[in-house]
Amino acid sequence: MKNSHNSNGEEERHGGNAPRPGWRNNRFLILFLFLVLGMFLVLVFSDQRSSGRQIPYSQFIGHLAAGEIESVKILDQYEIQGTLRGRSGETQQFTTNIPYFDAELLVQLREQGVRFSGAPRPVSPLRVVLEFLPWLIIFFFVWFMFRQMQGSGNKAFSFGKSRAKKFHEEGKKTTFADVAGQKEAKYELQEVVEFLKNPAKFTKIGAKIPKGVLLVGMPGTGKTLLAKACAGEANVSFFHMSGSDFVEMFVGVGASRVRDLFDQGRRNAPCIIFIDELDAVGRTRGAGYGGGHDEREQTLNQMLVEMDGFDTKDGVIMLAATNRPDVLDSALLRPGRFDRQVVVDMPDLEEREAILRIHINKVPIASSVDVHRLARATPGSSGADLANMVNEAALYAARKNKDVVEMDDFEEARDKALMGVARKSKILSLEEKRKTAYHEGGHALMHYYCRHADPLHKVTVVPRGRALGVAMSLPEKDAYSRGKGWLLDRIKIAYGGYVAEQMFYDETTTGTQNDLKQATELARRMVTDWGMSRIGPIAFGQEDEPIFLGKEIARHKDYSEHTAQAIDTEVSTILTSCLEETCDTLHKHRDQVIILAEALVERETLSDLDVRELLGFPATGPTIGGNGSGAVAAMPGAADPKGAAVETSESLGADQGSGTTREGG
């Protein structure tokens, strides 16, 4: 879930369009530069005016011999400044430089009766400025940089200070009303809110509120939004800091920042301290994922000590968020530190609809937009995904110069998120396009002859991402487990493109790679994980500890070679049986495959309703025929957001729309 309320950004903290503090420094700098330039020009011109007319020394000797020199002043024995009297009696100032030591100069001046005197050379203001200007520039530059560092919050020589950002919204606050869904998570956090509002209610009965609450969930589910809503509901200060802000190059800086953060929280109690991406600093110490790191471990040790040392009576509650709880240190998760873990799960159908309504309210939409249909068409999407889809739809509408966002804009945005950008510049030859059409036609037709298959949503031969074509299905409702019939039907649908290519071209292409991989992985997991074979309800292969929520790093082989051979035989039996049923179905309805493929060549994209009209199927109803059995399995994973293909890792949330693709070889 994405925050629907704009947090205190840079403009809000400075009062909308008010000038930022950095602008004052810039104006002062410009004023200072103009002042220096003006002084420089004044000194240059004043120095030139005071010097008089420059004449050669030989000309000076001639004027002296002619008796035209009235008075002179000798400066440091190298320069002569004097007054020259013309024949008509007018006088003018002159200056000349003595190129050599002239011992006869004073004698000639006495003979001509010239008044002369000596004086040291005056110091030119321009010279003084030029000598001291570099030092002034250096001093001003250092002072300016120091001011800049202070203004940005990174005060010099204060590396150990906490970098937590304090938010205290005086106007519209982020509350639980801004968080769609997540009823269980909000119920867990409601106790924290009640404690911050009325701590006596808990202390008088001897109850202790949890010191720390850890929000765990996949990226984009709204963990940070929930933390801000918790502070908004309680109307207390909110300190936000990332786990990576603690760790620095210098050992001990992170620990100092932890101490300062908790001191800052106590001074502003009651408050909430929120640490995002806790795994950046709270990883398991010693050997393990990520290796050792002295600075990070010292920071973690200080955090453990601080969480043990403060009492919730101070009115300070720790909130943290992570999507990797498996790598956190066990000492951090024990009671007395992070006492409670709150799972922030992927939204279900109703929650997705509520999230979409929050974000759609920010853009003008057409009356034809069906929010419920959009929620149904986006299973497995997080709040951040839905917010991005609404934004992409608005961008599509803006490109087309529309005044409102229409349903086709949302459809295009959703297809882009699930299957990638349509590569309209990729021009396929007619033969390649027809092969892709028959391949995708085989996939699409199998959706109507498999009883347990999800309804077809769209089939297209427009290249998207790496796929040359896509046949996409969407579940009618969120599903958290799947039966054997659904799994077998998924394998048959995956084989639909492979069989169609063999039927019409007597060969297959490299575009079947993804389909075969899906079918094989599903069949293997039916045998080794879900007990859906003649071997029995036995799980084979021990998985390593997960390195990321929902992912696995490796699987250990804990069975004999004889069992491995039996597993391979069962997998082959399942795949062969599904392949034969797919061949029988498509050969029996060969004419429908041709109709569907030719329509795809002509129109490129067909919806479920278009296919039903072409083939004369009923306008409603998921399938036409087929049978399946009912053993229940953990749901195979979600669609790959880039290729809309089935993924076989176990799901942690509702089933996403699955699909089959034909990839370019």
User: What per-residue confidence (pLDDT) applies to 646?
Assistant: 31
Query: What integer pLDDT is reported at residue 535 of this predicted model?
Result: 87
* pLDDT value for 573: 94
DSSP state of 654: S
Residue 555 has pLDDT above 80, yes or no: no
**CATH code 1.20.58.760 for 426-663:** yes
Please state the pTM of the whole predicted model: 0.62
Residues forming the active site:
440
Burial of residue 142 (number of CB atoms within 10 Å: 0-12, 13-18, 19+):
exposed
Task: Report residue 569 as tokens.
Answer: 């035989």
User: What share of the chain in percent tops pLDDT 70?
Assistant: 73
Q: 115 versus 497: which is more confidently predicted?
A: 497
Q: How confident is the model at residue 203 (pLDDT cuts 50, 70, 90)?
A: confident
Predicted confidence band at 70 (pLDDT cuts at 50, 70, 90)? confident
Average pLDDT over residues 39-62: 68
Average pLDDT in the chain:
75
CATH of 165-344, one of 3.40.30.10, 1.10.3720.10, 3.40.50.300, 3.30.110.30: 3.40.50.300
Domain ranges of the chain: 10-47+126-151, 52-122, 165-344, 349-418, 426-663
Q: Which tokens hold the place of 505?
A: 């071209």
Beta carbons of 534 and 570 less than 8 angstroms apart? yes
Tell me which CATH code domain 349-418 carries.
1.10.8.60
Alpha-carbon span 581 to 577, nearest angstrom: 6
Helix (H, G, I), strand (E, B) or coil at 73: strand
Q: Of 609, 663, 655, 662, whose CA–CA distance to 486 is shortest?
A: 655
Most confident option among 193-207, 295-309, 450-464, 635-649: 450-464
Cis peptide before 270 (omega within 30 of 0): yes
Domain 52-122: assigned CATH number: 3.30.720.210
Distance between CA 48 and CA 54 in Å, rounded?
Answer: 10
- Mean pLDDT, residues 294-300: 76
Mean pLDDT value across residues 298-316: 74
- State the burial class of residue 131 (Cβ atoms within 10 Å of its Cβ: 0-12, 13-18, 19+): exposed
Cβ-based neighbours of 337, under 8 Å, separated by 6 or more:
211, 212, 304, 307, 308, 331
The conformation of residue 280, written as its DSSP 8-state character, comes to: G
Query: Which residues pair with residue 283 across a beta bridge?
Result: 328
